[in-house]
Amino acid sequence: MNSIAFIFKHPPHGSSSGREGLDALLATAALSEDIGVFFIGEGVFHLLNSQQPKTIFARDYIVAFKLLELYDIENVYVCQQSLTTRGMLKEAMGDIAVKALSIAEIQMQLNGYDRIISF
């Protein structure tokens, strides 16, 4: 089976992209063990703790990212520069276990995957 990287680079509630990406990620996790998840750019907002999407009448799918560990998805990375640019701290991500990497380190990690899917 090919190794697959999922990149979340768009904000969570502006479109259905993030929700569809999460659905695809969890479905793929049932079939493959070699999965990486990357949060870059505006995608880092998927990890932000204490969001309140109901105030804009959006579905709260963000809590489902906590299932990554349950699905044995251990390779979860966040771009340190994206966090810094947006004034976010890694600690603001709550219960989701992520590794903060530089852009160069993310590129090196992505080079190890056979397929890359971006949302």
Residue-wise pLDDT tens digits, 33-61: 899 999 999 999 888 777 765 665 666 66
Rounded to an integer, the average pLDDT of 10-29 is 88
Give the count of domains, the chain: 1
pTM for the model:
0.88
Question: In this predicted structure, what is the pLDDT of residue 58?
Answer: 61
Contacts of 38 (CB under 8 A, 6+ apart): 5, 6, 7, 8, 77, 78, 79, 106, 109, 110
- Matching residue, tokens 């809590």: 63
Quote the percentage of the chain above a pLDDT of 70.
85
Burial (CB < 10 A; 0-12, 13-18, 19+), residue 33, is: exposed
For 76, what's the count of Cα atoms within 13 Å in the CB-facing half-sphere? 23
**CATH code, domain carrying 76:** 3.40.1260.10
Q: Strand 115-118 and strand 4-8: pairing?
A: parallel
Enter the DSSP assignment of 19: H
What's the Rg (C-alpha) of the chain? 13
Rounded (5°) CA angle 115-118-119: 150
Domain that holds residue 12: 4-118
